[in-house]
Chains A and B, each alone.
Chain A
Amino acid sequence: MNNRLLITLISAVLLGGVAIGYTVLSGSAPEQAAHSVPTGTGPRLMVLSNGKLSTVSRDDPAGSRQVTEQRCDRAYSAAGTISCLRPVGALKASELAVLDSQLKELRTVPLTGFPNRTRVSANGRMVAWTLFVDGHSYAANGFSTSTGVLDTKTGTLVESLEEFAVEGMPQRPVDTNFWGVTFTADDNRFYATMSTGGHRYLVEGDFAARKVRPLVDADNVECPSLSPDGTRIAYKAAVNGDPQQGWRISVLDLQTRKITPLAETRSVDDQPVWLDDKTVAYGIQRDDGLNDVWAVPSDGTGTPAVVVPEASSPAPIS
Chain B
Amino acid sequence: MSRRRAPLAVLTTVVVTAATLTASTAAHAATTTFTPTADTYVDNAATGTNYGTSGQLGVDNSSIKRTFLRFAVSGISGAVSNAKLRIHTDDVAGAESPNGGTFRSMTNVSWSETGVTWNNQPAVDGSTLGSLGSVVRNAWYEIDVTSYVTGNGTFSIGVTSSSSDGADYDSRESGATTAPQLVVTSGTTEPPGDPVWVGAGDIADSGSGDSATAALLDNIQGTVWTTGDNVYPDGTASQFASYYEPTWGRHKARTRPSPGNHDYHTTGATGYYNYFGAQAGPSGRGYYSYDLGNWHIVSLNSNISMSAGSAQEQWLRQDLAASTKPCTAAYWHHPLFTSGSNHAPSTATRPLFQALYDANADLVLFGHNHHYERFAPQNPNGGLDTARGIRTFVAGMGGAGAYSFGTIKPNSEARNTGTRGVLKLTLHSNSFDWQFVPEAGKTYTDSGTTNCH
Contacts and interface: CB of A to CB of B under 8 A. Distances in A.
Interface of A: 4, 8, 22-23, 29-39, 48-52, 54, 62-69, 71, 73, 87-88, 90, 114-115, 132, 135-137, 139-141, 269, 285, 287-290, 309-311
Contacts of A63: 53-54
Contacts of A136: 342
A288 B115 contact: no
Nearest to A68: B48
Contacts of A71: 407
A269 B405 CA distance: 12
Given A33-B63, A73-B407, A114-B406, A67 B120 contact: yes
Contact of A141 (B114, B233, B347, B414): B233
A236 to B, nearest CB: 14
Contacts of A51: 115, 407-408
A139 B115 contact: no
Given A68-B48, A139-B370, A290 B408 contact: yes
A310 B419 CA distance: 21
Given A34-B94, A310-B52, A287 B418 contact: yes
A65 B56 CA distance: 15
A73 B115 contact: no
Contacts of A132: 342
Contact of A36 (B51, B344, B402): B51
A88 B63 CA distance: 37
14 contacts: A30-B47, A35-B58, A50-B407, A65-B49, A66-B49, A67-B50, A132-B342, A137-B341, A137-B403, A139-B402, A141-B233, A269-B404, A287-B417, A289-B373
B49 A69 contact: no
Nearest 3 pairs between A and B by C-beta?
Answer: A289-B405, A51-B407, A310-B114
Contacts of B233: 141
Contacts, number: 144
A30 B48 contact: yes
A64 B50 contact: yes
Interface in B269-309: none
Contact of A88 (B117, B344, B418): B344
B343 interface: yes
Nearest to A38: B1
Contact of B115 (A35, A64, A67, A287): A67
Contact of B168 (A8, A35, A38, A67): A35
B203 to A, nearest CB: 16
B54 A114 contact: no
Contacts of B54: 36-37, 63-64
Given A8-B381, A32-B46, A64-B53, A289 B404 contact: yes
Nearest to B116: A67
Interface in B107-149: 112-115, 117, 119-120
A269 B404 CA distance: 10
A67 B121 CA distance: 12
A309 B114 CA distance: 8
A311 to B, nearest CB: 7
B51 A67 contact: no
Given A50-B407, A69-B120, A139-B404, A37 B51 contact: yes
Contacts of A29: 46, 49
A288 B374 CA distance: 11
B48 A67 contact: yes
Interface in B78-125: 94, 112-115, 117, 119-120
Contacts of A139: 342, 370, 401-404
B43 A36 contact: yes
Nearest to B46: A30
Contacts of A137: 341-342, 403-404
Interface string B167-190: 010000000000000000000000
A157 B79 CA distance: 62
B447 interface: no
A32 B53 contact: no
A232 B377 CA distance: 50
A114 B53 contact: no
A67 B46 contact: no
B341 A114 contact: yes
B34 interface: no
Given A66-B48, A73-B407, A287-B444, 10 more contacts: A30-B48, A32-B49, A36-B46, A36-B54, A67-B117, A88-B345, A90-B382, A136-B342, A139-B370, A288-B414
Given A135-B343, A290-B408, A33 B415 contact: no
Contacts of B344: 88, 114, 135
B416 interface: yes
Given A36-B43, A52-B115, A139-B402, A30 B49 contact: yes
A171 to B, nearest CB: 29
A309 B53 contact: yes
Contacts of A50: 112, 114-115, 407-408
A31 B359 CA distance: 52
A312 to B, nearest CB: 9
Interface string B7-36: 000000000000000000000000000000
A227 to B, nearest CB: 27
A311 B381 contact: no
Contact of A35 (B53, B94, B112, B120): B94
B416 A287 contact: yes
Given A49-B114, A136-B342, A35 B56 contact: yes
Nearest to A32: B46
A64 B113 CA distance: 11
A64 B51 contact: yes
Contacts of B56: 35
A90 B381 CA distance: 8
A94 to B, nearest CB: 9
A50 B116 CA distance: 10
A88 B382 CA distance: 14
Contacts of A36: 43, 45-46, 49, 51, 54, 58
A34 B93 CA distance: 12
B360 interface: no
A32 B408 CA distance: 29
B339 interface: yes
Q: Which of B113, B120, B342 has the most CB of A within 10 A?
A: B342
A13 to B, nearest CB: 16
Contacts of B408: 50-51, 289-290
Nearest to A33: B45
A69 B113 contact: no
Among B48, B344, B402, B418, the most chain A Cβ lie within 10 Å of the Cβ of B48
